[in-house]
Chain A
Amino acid sequence: GQQVMQIPQYQHVQEGEDFTTYCNSSTTLSNIQWYKQRPGGHPVFLIQLVKSGEVKKQKRLTFQFGEAKKNSSLHITATQTTDVGTYFCAGLGSGGGADGLTFGKGTHLIIQP
């Protein structure tokens, strides 16, 4: 079955430093989505990437989808304490199946003031 690997599992940064999490799929994806989960909360949808090589920005967050549609990254510039949480990527297989998204295990972002 489809597998989505995400690294690193944990990332400690000083406030103001940049942060990047990487996502790799074992199969080609039709799209990839990113979610954020605050401590004690539930995952919240951030964005979807569909096109090969696509880059999208949301303020300090930059999302990329690889040319082969098998990998993606999320980069946060100048982290703030509000960025704390776990970031998940989730891939939808090329079959677009009803069984939905396969989630990576997430990257826990810990920010030290």
Chain B
Amino acid sequence: DAGITQSPRHKVTETGTPVTLRCHQTENHRYMYWYRQDPGHGLRLIHYSYGVKDTDKGEVSDGYSVSRSKTEDFLLTLESATSSQTSVYFCAVGQGAQGYTFGSGTRLTVV
């Protein structure tokens, strides 16, 4: 969909290690978003970007950082992974009024 690729698709990591998830888009969208999805919580916004080097915090940003050095790439970093960050992470692109296109997701397990 809309040329969005998330990597890796699955990852298991140990508590305390840094982890970086990548979202790559080929559609030149200005707006990009990182969500996490957990049972009973739906989709919660972690961070978003409205342009190169322009990012801001979402609802559940603690423990996460992001970077966007190029239009096409939006990176999500867990500085020191904790078990509470075990989740499915979705990247989305688009501007609200036109609907979002989501990537296929990254399933992260922190052990």
> Which A residues lie at the B interface, using CB under 8 A?
1, 6, 9, 30-31, 33, 35, 41-45, 48, 88, 90, 92, 96, 98-106
Give A103's nearest chain B residue, CB to CB: B43
A42 CB contact (under 8 Å) in B41, B50, B59, B105: B105
Q: Are B48 and A42 in contact (CB under 8 A)?
A: no
Q: A1-B59, A42-B105 known; A100 and B100 CB under 8 Å?
A: yes
Residue B14 is within 8 A (CB to CB) of chain A in the complex: no
29 A-B pairs in the complex with CB atoms less than 8 angstroms apart:
A1-B59, A30-B97, A31-B96, A31-B97, A33-B99, A33-B100, A35-B100, A42-B1, A42-B102, A42-B103, A42-B105, A43-B90, A48-B97, A88-B43, A92-B96, A92-B97, A96-B96, A96-B97, A98-B50, A99-B56, A100-B33, A100-B45, A100-B48, A101-B100, A103-B35, A104-B42, A105-B40, A105-B42, A106-B43
Residue B104 is within 8 A (CB to CB) of chain A in the complex: yes
Chain B 46-71 residues near chain A, CB threshold 8 A: 48, 50, 56, 58-59
Chain A residues in 8 Å Cβ range of B92: 43
* Chain A CB within 10 A, most for which of B59, B90, B97: B97
Q: A42-B104, A100-B48, A100-B95 are known contacts; what are 13 more A-B pairs with Cβ within 8 Å? A: A30-B97, A43-B90, A43-B102, A45-B100, A45-B101, A48-B97, A92-B96, A92-B97, A96-B96, A99-B48, A100-B45, A100-B100, A103-B42
CB distance from B32 to the nearest CB of A (A): 10
Chain A residues in 8 Å Cβ range of B105: 42
Measured in the bound complex, the distance between the Cα atoms of B43 and A42 in whole Å is 11
